[in-house]
Structure 1
């Protein structure tokens, strides 16, 4: 676990790997591995000090992703949402250039080779 000011919450490891490849700054990326129980969510909030960090939610555009986004938004009202185009459905299936543009729109440092 890094001690950074920014945290991105994603669903799975493939999402995390895809985002790590694009980023050029140190960011904690938390995998939820699907929906979260209240205790697990509370543990993540404590472990990562999420109440005092810039939190970004980047989940799939499917029913499981929508459910998770809603749950996280309730527990972390200060979190910002990053959306992918519905046509790609999954973060891991989204083209790198699309992800790079989405991350850049939230002021993340990204490797410029992924913009084209």
Structure 2
């Protein structure tokens, strides 16, 4: 059973993060918004798991992060740099450093083989 959940905004974010992770993690895509229906189907089932949030460093990402902070106050927030903007364009080495503190990650360079 996977106890860690990572919330990202979109499919490309999920693909990029999967290339770095070296352990099973449920990765949930919000597709940028959280309706009441999504909250019930996505958020409620994970409230008792270790939840991590990694969203884009833009206005939409910050808005989503604020909503997630209200719904999941115990979640751990991870950040990309504003200069990278989006998770999907964050360099692999930086993404690896961000995730390494909480997840098993592939060593830099390994992700390019996938």
C-alpha distance in structure 2 between counterparts of 1:44 and 1:85, whole Å: 26
Contact 1:60 1:90 in 2 (8 A): yes
2:24 corresponds in structure 1 to 26
Q: Does 1:94 align with 2:90?
A: yes
Provide the residue aligned with 2:103 in structure 1: 108
Please tell me whether the aligned partners of residues 5 and 27 of structure 1 are also in contact (alpha carbons under 8 angstroms).
yes
Distance 2:42 2:97 in 1: 27
Contact 1:22 1:114 in 2 (8 A): no
8 Å CA contact retained: 2:4, 2:25: yes
Partners in 1 of 2:109 and 2:96 — Cα distance?
6
Partner of 1:61: 57
Give structure 1 regions of 4+ aligned residues with deviation exceeding 6 angstroms: none
Correspondence 1:74 to 2:70: yes
Deviation at 1:45, TM superposition (A): 2.0
Question: Which residue of 39, 42, 45 maps to 1:44?
Answer: 42
For structure 2, the 5+ residue unaligned runs are: none
When normalised by structure 2's length, the TM-score is 0.92
Deviation at 1:114, TM superposition (A): 4.3
How many residues get paired?
A: 110
Gaps of 5+ in 1: none
Residue among 4, 7, 10 paired with 1:6:
4
Q: What is the alpha-carbon root mean square deviation over aligned residues?
A: 1.3
